Amino acid sequence: MKKRKNHAASRLPALPGFVLAMPLYPSTTINIPGIFLAIFVFSIGFFIQCNVVTSNIGLRFLNITDMLVLMTLPVIALLYIRCLTPSIVLFYLLPLTVLFALTALFADARGDGEFYTTAMTYFYAVYFLFFAYMLFKENLLELFCWGMFAGFIAVTILLFLDIVIHDQLASIGLSFMFDEAGVLELAAKGEITPLLLRVEKAGGIWPVGNTAGPAFALAGAAAAYLAERQRRPALFAVFLLIYLASFTLTLNRSGVFAVLAIGLYFYVRNFSVKMLLSTYFGFALCALVIAAVLPLGAFDFAGEVFSKRFLEDSNSSNNLHERWETITGGFQVMFLHPLGIGFTARYEELARIAKIGTPHNGFMATAYASGLGFCMMSAFALFYAIFRKRKIGFFVYSAIGIIIGYQFEELNFNPVFMAHVGLALAYAAIDLDFRLFLKTTVMRRLGTADDARHREEGIVIGNPGLSPLLSDGR
């Protein structure tokens, strides 16, 4: 009987202890019908990906998630404030607020409008702590991922529609405001603007493809988690096909690398003989389809695009050298201004050191905008999510996508990345809070370890998730 129980427990997912203990966390301060919470969580997931450009329609927010975070933060904080513990306030919210205050007051040479990213980064980090409590307490993480997946499909459709009806989409915030004729006219006069890149690399709702590609790639975290939970790898395969279709317009390689890394980890994490056979037959089917339509020229355009970006890029070696110079110069600027520096000032300073004003690195850009302390907190949370023994797949996939994207572009200003970094910070904070401060209390509430073992059968019947928590609350 005992062996049978242990075998059953071993087959349960190795989830962090706080997830299994969530039924013991305090409930909301106000009783809200579950359907409203579900709609809200799905909507937040949807708009993280399909991030309407609210500044296009005259609002004082760059994107719709910025508006939603600021407007709903008081509500969500009120609902889940009872879940906060003194320890998480002392070791997460307080340091976060102190770091924000320091960079707000003492950052160097911050120009007009350059505080926006700093402020929103802080509010996203606070907001997603309460939002994470909602996801785990109400068991809505999977629905949140469905919202992100739906948002990814919507924003990809908008990317293709942008080619033919840009002005109509931009007028309602469904595309980035972009005057291609004006940009080309300036280029003809020798005035090169950052948006010139959009002429070659479409961005849809984002300024350029180098932003759109990594932002789309983070939806891979939701797709992989859903495929894992549903035990249907085909869900991730569908995401991959849609993403590769979007690549033909964005031409962004870093996003492809991120998606492939997420896919590889998903495959290794969920590997089975059945998955191996499914992969084999899937590739075989794809090969047959490609062989059938290849003579018709259906893949000529896609083939040219992939060849251009991966096989015929003659600037790869120069690009690598330039990246190395900007990264070394970027470190110098970062350590000279540990509390942050304004965008224009650091662009000029880095240009003097490395001849290029951007380090093409999201971690350094985070340090410039929000200070070195917040940068270190973010990096720790991301690597914690990956290397934590007990883990939730979504946060691992998300961390992989962020880390790879950050190696190529300054993406800290993008609200998709702000949201994912905020979730990573919340996940690490809640998990560490439970492991370091709450585990003993939870065990005490359940009784002594011996009594708990005697009552194990009854607890398993009442709440199966608590069984491994009693034996190992890590």
Question: Could you give the CA distance from residue 386 to residue 400 in angstroms, rounded to a whole number?
Answer: 8
Angle at 89 between CA 87 and CA 90, to 5 degrees: 65
CA distances from 7 to 270, 286, 389, 450, 469 (A): 19, 39, 20, 20, 15
For residue 397, with 0-12 CB atoms within 10 Å meaning exposed, 13-18 middle and 19 or more buried, which class applies? buried
Please name the residues in contact with 61: beta carbons below 8 A apart, sequence gap of 6 or more: 54, 55, 67, 70
- Distance in angstroms (rounded) separating the CA atoms of residues 339 and 372: 6
Give pLDDT, residue 186.
Answer: 80
> How many other C-beta atoms can be found within 10 angstroms of the C-beta atom of residue 206?
25
| Mean per-residue pLDDT, 167-171 | 95
User: What's the burial of 318, exposed, middle or buried (CB within 10 Å: 0-12/13-18/19+)?
Assistant: exposed
Q: Residue range 107-127: average pLDDT? A: 95
Please give the pLDDT value at position 391: 94
Q: How far apart are CA 369 and CA 414, in angstroms?
A: 12
Q: Per-residue pLDDT averaged across 43-47, rounded?
A: 98
Lookup: tokens for 229: 């939970």
Query: Are 110 and 340 a contacting pair, CB within 8 Å?
Result: yes
Residue type, 13: P
pTM of the predicted protein model = 0.88
pLDDT value at position 287? Answer: 67
pLDDT value of position 11: 43
| Residue 233, number of CB atoms within 10 A of its CB | 21
| Contact (CB, 8 A) for 43 and 165 | no
Can you tell me the distance from the alpha carbon of 240 to that of 217, in angstroms, rounded to the nearest whole number?
Answer: 9
* 190 or 98, greater pLDDT: 98
DSSP secondary structure letter of residue 25:
S
For residue 192, name the pLDDT band (cuts at 50, 70, 90).
Answer: confident
pLDDT tens per residue, range 48-93? 999 999 999 999 999 999 999 999 999 999 999 999 999 999 999 9
Q: List the beta strands (DSSP E) in 366-412.
A: none
| Residue 241 one-letter amino acid | L
**Which residues share a beta bridge with 108?**
341
Alpha-carbon distance of 462 to 197, in angstroms, equals 58
3-state secondary structure of 108: strand
Which one, of 7, 6, 4, 20, lies nearest residue 469 by Cα?
Answer: 20
Nearest to 441 by CA among 469, 464, 415, 468: 469
pLDDT the model gives residue 229: 94
Across the range 200-217, mean pLDDT stands at: 95
Contact 389, 14 (CB under 8 A): yes
33/458 Cα distance (integer angstroms): 29
Please tell me which residue, 213 or 191, carries the higher pLDDT value.
213
In angstroms, rounded to a whole number, what is the distance separating the alpha carbons of residues 402 and 424? Answer: 10
pLDDT of residue 392: 96
Q: With H, G, I as helix, E, B as strand and everything else as coil, classify residue 341.
A: strand
Q: Which of 139, 207, 103, 107 is nearest to 415 (CA)?
A: 207
Distance CA 423, CA 72 (A): 16
Read off the tokens for 42. 């799905």
The mean per-residue pLDDT over the stretch 366-375 comes to 97
What's the pLDDT band for 465 if we cut at 50, 70, 90?
A: very low
Identify the three-state secondary structure at position 373: helix
- Rounded to whole angstroms, the Cα distance separating 396 from 269 reads 11
How far apart are alpha carbons 313 and 319 in whole angstroms? 10
Q: Is the pLDDT of residue 313 over 80?
A: no
**Helix (H, G, I), strand (E, B), or coil: what is residue 265?**
helix
Distance of alpha carbon 371 from alpha carbon 365, whole angstroms = 9
Beta bridge partners of 341: 108
Alpha-carbon 449 to chain mean position: 38
